[in-house]
Each structure stands twice: as C-alpha cells, then as structure tokens.
Chains A and B, each alone.
Chain A
Amino acid sequence: MPPPIRRLRLDDPEPATEAIPVEQGTFTAARRSIKAPQFSIRRMEIDDVSVHYGDKEAVRRVSLPVRQGEVLSLIGPSGCGKTTLLRSLNRLTELTTSARLSGRILLDDVDISQIEPTLLRRRVTMVFQQPNPFPMSVFDNIAYVLREQGSRRARRKTLEPAVLSALDRAGLLEEVKDNLDHPALKLSGGQQQRLCIARALAAEPEVLLLDEPCSALDPKSTQVIEDLIVRLRDDVAVVIVTHNLQQAYRIADHVAFMYLGDLVEYNSATALFGSPREQRTREYVSGAFG
C-alpha cells in the first residue's frame, strides 16, 4: 500500500512570499538623501549635438545644460548613445576615427572645438567604468596628472599638498595616507575607483564625467562613491552615465533619458521618476524594457 498523500490544509502555516514591488512606489521608496541643490551655475551647454559613427547615428540632435551645483544623470538602455554623448563632452570621441560630431558644445560659453584637447580634458575630466589606476604607486597616480606632459619634474615635496588634497576630496586619504607608495592596482576595487576620481579631481576640473563608475563595484563601495559624488556637486558640475535607475534616482538632481540616440525626456529626478511625461520613459523606468 503506497503511503497516503498528505494534502495542504487550511491551518497549515502559510509559506513566506516575497513582497511584490508596487510599480509607482519603486523609486519613491528608494533612499533619496540628497538635499535640493544650494545653487546652480551653467557650465556646459550641449546644443543640438549629433554624433555619427560612420553611417550610424549614435546621438541625434541632443540639447542639454550641465550645471555646477547639480548632478546630471544620463540614463537609457545599452546603445542609446549616453556614453557617446558623455565622451563627446571632453572630445574623447575624436579618438575614434569614424566618429563625426555636429552641433555645438560650449564650456563657459566657449565652443570646445576651439579649445586645445589636452587643455579641455584637464577642465573636463573623466572616470571610467572599469577602475583603471596606472600601474604605479598611489602617490604617482595623482602626481602624474599634476606634472607637465611627459615630465618627471616637480619633486615629491612640491606635489605632496596637491596630491593629498585630491585624495582627501575623493575621500580616500584616511585609508591610504600611510602607504602612498603602495601599488595602486593592489587596492580594492572601490578604493581604486575613488583613486580614479581623485586623479580626475587633481586636474582641478570644472566638469567631472563619470561613465557607470559603480557598475564593477559591490553595493557598499557603490554607496561610498555615491555619497562622494553628491558631495562633489558644489565644486564641479557632475555628469554621470548609469544603468542603475535607483542610483540615478538616489544621486541625480536632473535626469536625461535617452533612447536610440534621442533625448526622450529631461527633467528633475523626482519628476522624471515620479511622473514621467513620455510613454517611453514611463515604460523604461517601470522596467518594461531595458
């Protein structure tokens, strides 16, 4: 005789179910600790910019302001042109031979195509997706930025205050001050990325570009860097490309949603996530595609 099958009864304890996220509440429930910006100064202006790679149009007629005192976040699915737009802000797109840019990008009312690229890139610095410190000591990573092009000049003593201040602004000084001669590539991923931010800050830029700076990091390091970005927004205009919508909601003051090269919607973070105007934005932020 086979053993009888035991059926579920009403008085059985109910299995735990995961809370189903409420669509509208997804973002409003997220931590948004930042305060409204104290001030905002327009530093860069993206005016009707299109970028082509060969025949392919990666960015189509985008216009956006970049302001100091605020964090601007570019969001959108992969291949929507957000990274291309970010890279054209310091003319890194020009390293790709097939790339062509039309429209104007102004930095403090000067067209950036009129600024010598190396000068521009010291005023508009960039942090990349992968932490990429140079294979030298922590100190030398920053000192490299402070020195003249290929030079080894400017001795350690002279550079030390500037190096320490850059590390301090990136919130890394406390952790590395005792081993500045430590190889930078032996730091943890999160520390490496903050070193990259320190490196970008050492050039005393006006605009800081961040290309998915947390995508290779764990949640804890991500939080540290997010706090840092919010702290930096008063000193530099911050533009961050991110895949992570919660992150955009947490740290951005303004958000631009791009889709297939088009700028679909630009608004304050609360407005864009809370009550998107466009259908595509609504679908994207609710996770219908991406």
Chain B
Amino acid sequence: MESSAPTPPITIPPVPPPEGPPLPGAHQRKGAVEGSATWSLSDRIGLAICWTLGLLFCAIAVAIVLYLLVQGIKFLRPEMLWTPAAAGFNETETGGFSDALFGTLIVATMGIALALPAGIAIAVWLVEYGRPAALARVTESTIEAIAGIPSIVLALFGTVIFSSTALGFLSRSSEGVVFGRSFFAAGVMLSLVALPLIVASVREGLNSIPRHVREASYAVGKTKAATTRRILLPTCRPQVATGAMLGLGRIIGDTAIIVVLLGATQNFAPVEGVGFPLDYLRGAGTTLTNFVYEASPTGNLNQPQKAYAAAFVLLLMVLALNAAVDVVHRRARKAGTWSH
C-alpha cells in the first residue's frame, strides 16, 4: 500500500467571525487582564461585595460633601468669618464664629509646629540610626501606645501637667489662678495626637528609599547628616506632607482636648495685663469643632444653621489640605523614582 494515490490537499475552512454579543469572559476590553466569568461563584460574590462596598463608601462621602455644601452655602454668611460669637436669643443676634475659626488656626499651627519637626526627627532617628536597638524598640512601642490612647485621656493627663507649678505659667490667669487651660496647653497636647501619624508616615517614606541610594551618597564622601538633609528628607517630601495632613486632620478634628485643655469658651478669653500675643495664647478659647458641637441641637447654643456653616468651613479646610498634599505628591512623581 505504497502511496499510489496522492493524498488530497488539506483545506481548512476559514473560521467565520463570531456573531452576536461577545462571549462572556472573552478578552474584549483593551487592557483587561482577566474576566471574572470563569471564576467560581464564591469568588464572584466576593468581587460583587468589594464593588458594592467601594461604591457605597463613595456614595456616603459624596453625600456628606454635597449635603454640607448645600447647607453651608445656604447658611454661611461671610460676616460670620470675622464676627465673634455673642449672646442673643435668635440666630441673627448671636454673631459668627470668628473666635472659633482663629482658635482652630492657632491650635493647628501650634500643634503641627511642635509635632512636625519632632516627628521627622524621631522617624530619622528610628530609621537611620536606631541604636541601641533596645532603645529604638522602646521608642517605637511608646509612639504606638500614644497613638492608641484616646485623646480625652491625654487631655486629663494634660490638666495634671499644665496645672503643675513648673508649667502653670502657661495658663495662669491675671488673678494668678492656674486652671491648666490655655492655647499653650491644648497645642502641646494636640501635637502629641498628631505625632504618631507623622512618625509613621515619614518612617514609611524613609524605608522606601533603597539602601544603595544612601550608599551612593556615602560613596562620594557625604556624611550621614548631609545625606539625610539633602537626599533622604527631600525624597520623603510626599510622606512628610501626608503625615502633616493626617496630623492636622486629627488636630482640627479633636474635641476632647479642646473641652478639657482649652476651656471651650465661646470667645477668646485673653489674660489681662500680658502683652500680645501671649495674652491670647495663655488664655482659654474654642475651635470650630467645638463650636459645631455647641451650636448643634445637642449643644448649649442651639443654632443649627451656624453649626452647618461652621462645619462647611471645616470641610473646606480639610479639602484644601488634601489638595495641597496632592500637589506635593504629583511633583514628586514628576521627579521619578528608582527601580528596586
């Protein structure tokens, strides 16, 4: 049976293009790695839950912002920003919340001015030096402990410290009475609230710089100090900004420390007979968060319209902070990064 008959040529019929809707799971979309159509049911349910929760979260955030936007625009009058609160029987007589607004700005500035340098310094020490190792471990867990302490507990502790003889001068009234309540006291304690967040963020930034980058700087004869100042910290700028923003968020959002250590008076209560600005800083005051609470139906003032207006201002501040951090991050991305 030698092949006497030639084998017939093989013809492959052309495959007709698929008609109708594309098959599920087919790699249709550009950049699609994998469709979930082939997944097991439990995985698909899991994915659906992820989607739903993600979208739900967005919806909640959008609802908050939109609601406050609407209410804020409805109730916010520009003069509220520069009129201090006053006593009165209805919302037209009670003035604005300028004292609370400036109070927020003061504690935020004080808190971050203390926490940022300290936080950066601690993070640098932990990552770049961290010796003796036992001391570094203790520092680490101390910071974690502070991060876990509720701010009301910190506030209570603050009253003890700031009414002590050594630190009493920071909150002494004109009559010589020490209440342990002042912008100084609140600012210092609020910086403790912000500190762990800054340390964590800066540490993460420093740890993400490859070791060979540090060595490249040492290998051209630079000291550790010079490397930290000129290479490492500038590289960590985005993480420093993130830490500062998170810290500021905690500071301007805190109410417990404000009530206990700032007195939560409706107006500034400067100490008489002391020069500016020490008179204000040694005196009691309030912040926007506390004003929102007091003005809300739960609080003593019961002027919900102003509560919305103040909450709107708070929201704008937080959004502005977020935008600023975003700019820092975008600039850093433009500078590029190393392949690890």
Contacts and interface: CB of A to CB of B under 8 A. Distances in A.
A4 B226 CA distance: 80
Given A92-B218, A128-B216, A135 B223 contact: no
Given A135-B336, A135-B337, A121 B212 contact: no
B229 to A, nearest CB: 5
B337 A185 contact: yes
A183 B234 CA distance: 14
B218 A121 contact: yes
A136 interface: yes
Interface stretch (A31-39, A50-58, A144-152, A259-267): A144-152
Interface stretch (A41-49, A171-179, A195-203, A221-229): A195-203
B124 to A, nearest CB: 14
Contacts of A284: none
Given A3-B7, A130-B212, A149 B225 contact: yes
A242 interface: no
Interface in B216-258: 216-223, 225-226, 229-231, 234-235
A90 to B, nearest CB: 6
Interface residues of B, number: 30
B339 interface: yes
Contacts of B336: 135, 183-186
Contact of B219 (A121, A131, A144, A183): A121
A122 B225 CA distance: 16
Pick from A128, A135, A183 the residue with the most CB of B within 10 Å: A135
B212 A128 contact: yes
B335 A135 contact: yes
B63 interface: no
Nearest to A123: B221
Contacts of B332: 135
Pick from B7, B221, B336, B337 the residue with the most CB of A within 10 Å: B221
A185 B220 contact: no
Given A118-B222, A130-B338, A130-B339, A150 B229 contact: yes
A20 interface: no
Interface string A119-141: 11110011011111011100000
Interface in A1-25: 1, 3-4
A1 B8 CA distance: 13
Contacts of B212: 128-130, 132
Contact of A200 (B220, B226, B231, B339): B220
Nearest to A116: B221
Contact of B213 (A92, A125, A132, A149): A132
A202 B235 CA distance: 22
Interface string A208-223: 0100000010000000
Contacts of B210: 130, 132
Contact of B221 (A122, A183, A196): A122
A95 B222 CA distance: 13
User: What is the interface of chain A mostly: helix, strand, loop, or mixed?
Assistant: mixed
Contact of A134 (B3, B219, B231, B340): B231
A129 B212 CA distance: 9
A273 B76 CA distance: 83
A131 B212 CA distance: 9
B63 to A, nearest CB: 40
A123 B336 CA distance: 30
A90 B337 contact: no
Contacts of B215: 92, 95, 126, 128
A149 B218 contact: no
B29 interface: no
Contacts of A183: 334-336
A203 B220 contact: yes
B220 A199 contact: yes
Interface string B199-218: 00000000000101101111
Nearest to A148: B226
Contacts of B225: 149-150
Given A4-B3, A183-B334, A149 B235 contact: no
A144 B213 contact: no
Interface string B320-340: 000000000000101111111
A183 B213 CA distance: 16
B84 to A, nearest CB: 45
A196 B216 CA distance: 9
B334 A200 contact: no
B216 A121 contact: no
6 contacts: A118-B223, A120-B221, A136-B234, A144-B230, A149-B222, A149-B225
Interface of A: 1, 3-4, 90, 92, 95, 118-122, 125-126, 128-132, 134-136, 144-145, 149-150, 183-186, 189, 196, 199-200, 202-203, 209, 216
Given A130-B210, A135-B234, A199-B220, 19 more contacts: A4-B7, A118-B223, A119-B221, A121-B219, A125-B221, A126-B219, A128-B216, A130-B339, A132-B213, A132-B338, A134-B216, A134-B230, A134-B231, A135-B231, A144-B230, A149-B222, A150-B226, A186-B335, A189-B339
The 5 residue pairs across chains A and B that have the minimum distance between CB atoms: A185-B336, A122-B221, A126-B219, A150-B226, A149-B226
